[in-house]
Homo-oligomer: A and B are copies of this chain.
């Protein structure tokens, strides 16, 4: 099958590569010519303009956008006039599902189909395959199935879910790694929540490991003053834990084994003190949108919210609030701020 790919960053160019490995034809486009070279060597047709790009695609065209969410509308504005009725536009990036709902309506007025695909897998997807969460018309989903099947991991060596095996269910694509989740926006909605969960998982591991790292607090000297809570039982905190080894052992047989733990074990073995990081953690939109959706639904998400807010805090954004706390303490108790221990 033929697919046009616009946007050849880390994700887009890996995906084109994986498609070609699985026997599909790719026409590719990026404003940066150099991004296309490697792909051209593997058989892709590179194009220097959107006009050329569109002209090389057979109708009905299938155009996959793999772009930063912020530029999708701009590219669409240029692309739509070049497309024809029954063509298909797929947004595989990290768009807000609100935008999918709006765009699908705009494209429909031109007779163009719109598909939103939440794509998970990161830089490992090239080899491991991508988990694809898909929204849009069911018929269009089926038409594009060969593309999705090639990008997805397939059954691989992942064990079949026991209850599913028992029922011989039949026609789900979920155990191939791609799924039609529902109408327009459904794909990015599910991907949004996926990322919200991801924040929670990441925070759980990192908080736990931080407790282990500080289990030596009873061995450290402490100041004894009214501003410092005394450690009641220093004898309980005399451990110097080897975090890379602990992360490794948890990978085997424990209840908390996961792919994120695999990555954590790798990072910790490489650099046990994580000295190459500062700990200022970015957040992309999905974690925020997840919490906002939960608020609209009145669904409690204390863990997902806390995970998001820890990131805000890691970037220093609690500073003014903390100064107010210090100011209050100074007001009512004459407490003088202490410098944190070095």
Contacts and interface: CB of A to CB of B under 8 A. Distances in A.
A36 B282 CA distance: 55
B288 A229 contact: yes
The interface centre, meaning the residue of A10, A152, A283, A339 with most chain B CB atoms within 10 A of its CB, is A283
12 contacts: A96-B232, A120-B255, A122-B255, A131-B257, A174-B245, A193-B211, A200-B208, A205-B324, A211-B299, A258-B260, A267-B327, A282-B338
Nearest to A298: B312
A303 B323 CA distance: 16
Most buried by B among A204, A211, A259, A329: A211
Given A204-B201, A318-B210, A174 B279 contact: no
A168 interface: no
Q: In the complex, which range does the number of interface residues on chain A fall in?
A: 35 or more
A91 B122 CA distance: 42
Contacts of A174: 245-246, 248-249, 252
A127 to B, nearest CB: 10
Given A194-B256, A251-B158, A297-B237, A122 B332 contact: yes
Given A269-B163, A331-B266, A279 B249 contact: no
A235 B229 CA distance: 24
B269 A164 contact: yes
A282 B227 contact: yes
B177 A252 contact: yes
A208 B310 contact: no
B267 A333 contact: no
Contacts of A38: none
A51 interface: no
